Amino acid sequence: MAVNQIILGGIMFNQKNVAFVITDPQVEFLKSTGKGFGATKDVLEKVNTIENLTKLFALAQERGYKRFISPHYFYPHDHKWQFKAAGETMMIENEMFWRDSQYSAIPEGSGADMIEEIKPFLDEDTIVVNGHKIFGPESNDLNLQLRKNGIDTVILAGMNANLCVDSHMRELIELGYNVIVVNDAVGAPGEEAYQAALTNYGYIANQVLTTEEVIAQL
């Protein structure tokens, strides 16, 4: 095998073109102080989501892979939208992922803050793109940042499995990326939602792997 080539799930990739994309690794759905934690708690505990996300961040840093975070943020002007769909309504009415301003720091420990477990890995090789407003990356600069960094293969994980992870997977596939979803480094609002997401991953993603399989193969 040539230098810089790796095999993931039986498919060969160029290592320098591979990156991790993590959706919403934030307090809101991942920690007990978050407003969405009640819905996600059971799946988080079942698959060890936080532990596995932390392993992926550590692996990426250790082996020189860039990390792209696609977060959720809502600002006061978003609350003035003239119409909203169900998911937006729920998040906005509950002031989830709230930030007072685009020009002020994110309060530590707030729903919009990154979880503490991943903060040691947020270095110069971590690119936090603009917040996505609903579920997919169509409204942020994730695609631009990936292309400008020469990325063609994405290892995808984060929150929530059936919503933002699923939507990012679909859009990235449509844009021509190879997408590998890590099925135990995601969370979901309940077992039914989690299983629905796994079904979709199997039909759509290039590969579906566990955290340990990713660690073993990178």
Q: Where are the domains of the chain?
A: 15-217
Q: What is the pLDDT of residue 189?
A: 97
- Our measurement of the distance from residue 144's CA atom to the centroid of its chain's CA atoms, rounded to an integer in Å, reads 16
Task: Give Rg (Cα) of the chain.
Answer: 16
- Residue 52 near residue 184 (C-beta atoms within 8 A): yes
Structure tokens at 191: 């077992």
Q: What is the pLDDT of residue 2?
A: 52
Report the amino acid identity of residue 79.
H
Q: What is the pLDDT of residue 5?
A: 74
Residue 176 CA: distances (Å) to CA of 135, 206, 214: 19, 11, 21
Interatomic CA distance for residues 85 and 133, integer angstroms:
11
**pTM (2 decimals)?**
0.94
List, in order, residues 6 or more apart from 170 with CB less than 8 Å away.
136, 204
Query: Which superfamily does 15-217 belong to?
Result: Isochorismatase-like (3.40.50.850)
CA nearest neighbour of 198 among 211, 212, 217, 184: 184
Tens digits of per-residue pLDDT, 142-196? 999 999 999 999 999 999 999 999 999 999 999 999 999 999 999 999 999 999 9
End-to-end Cα separation, the chain, in angstroms = 14
What parts of the chain have a pLDDT lower than 70?
1-3
Structure tokens at 154: 């994405």
